[in-house]
Amino acid sequence: MTVNAADLARRIDRLIGVEGHPEYAAAMNGLQVDHRGPVHRVAAAVDASQRAIRAAADEGANFLIVHHGLFWGGAQPITGAAYSRLRLLFESDIAVYSAHLPLDSHPEFGNNVLLARQLGLVPSTPFARYEGVSIGVAGESDAPTDSLLALADAFARRHGGSARATAIPVGHRTRRWAICTGAGASSETLREAEATNIDTLITGEGPHHTAVEAPERGVVVIYAGHYATETLGVAAVAERVATDAGLPWSFLSAPTGL
């Protein structure tokens, strides 16, 4: 049985509920680049970078699933870096499928639930609502916040990064936590954390003002890296759809250091 890019894209759309999911226009969820096909190997990467595309080509993969697609910069001339990415894709006949917020919020394949599991945390409530959908997760625990930071750091280091935190008061324990992967630290998430008695927010990154604001709202923020915190969803989806289709798959590590 052969599978083409459009078939596989439809399967992923259904699996993670892309239709009707709120999203930023630039994310352009779904099949972004077609290929001649059929699909013979699936690869997953966080970013549709030249490094990831080259790695996919080196592995003989011709269907690349990414979390951050090709069009974040909006409409732009196909010159320079944009041209190089597309040329690499066409020369290697690689299709690109991108899934952004549906892959953050999904209860089984989402970056947020999977990061919680990595940190030994069990989600019980939603967090970080965006246009009616909760992107993040929250829950209860009773652990020294230092230990949670160490776990997050060990996880980040496996993906070429590191975790840092705002000042952790001596003896601070994490009793109510929230996770919002990627660029999840913002005034909005800090306000929501304070309003819902969250004492520890685990995220990828955020602007400097979030580190100023967090202690004033009684929240410790753990920044575990945008890249690291968004490695899990694409890999989980690639594994599921490739296995279901009887295709080999792999995760392509291309850390940004952030």
Catalog residues that contact Zn ion under the rule CB under 5 A.
182
Between 57 and 201, CB nearer to Zn ion: 201
Minimum Å gap between C-beta 117 and Zn ion is 19
Using an 8 Å Cβ cutoff, are 116 and 122 in contact?
yes
User: In angstroms, what is the minimal distance from the CB of 131 to Zn ion?
Assistant: 17
CB of 182 to Zn ion, least distance (A): 3
Closest CB to Zn ion among 28 and 143? 28
Name which of 9 and 180 has its Cβ closer to Zn ion. 180
Measuring CA to CA, which residue among 178, 167, 218 is closest to residue 194?
Answer: 218
Q: Is 104 or 192 the residue whose CB approaches Zn ion more closely?
A: 104
Least distance between Zn ion and beta carbon 230 (Å): 5
Q: Residue 246 CB, nearest distance to Zn ion (Å)?
A: 30
**Please, which residue, 102 or 182, has the CB nearer to Zn ion?**
182
Q: Which is nearer to Zn ion, 25 or 195 (CB)?
A: 25
Provide the token pair at 196: 């819902």
Contacts for 13 with CB less than 8 Å, ≥ 6 apart: 19, 30
Residue sitting closest to Zn ion (CB): 182
User: Taking the complex as a whole, how short is the minimal distance between the CB of residue 105 and Zn ion, in angstroms?
Assistant: 12
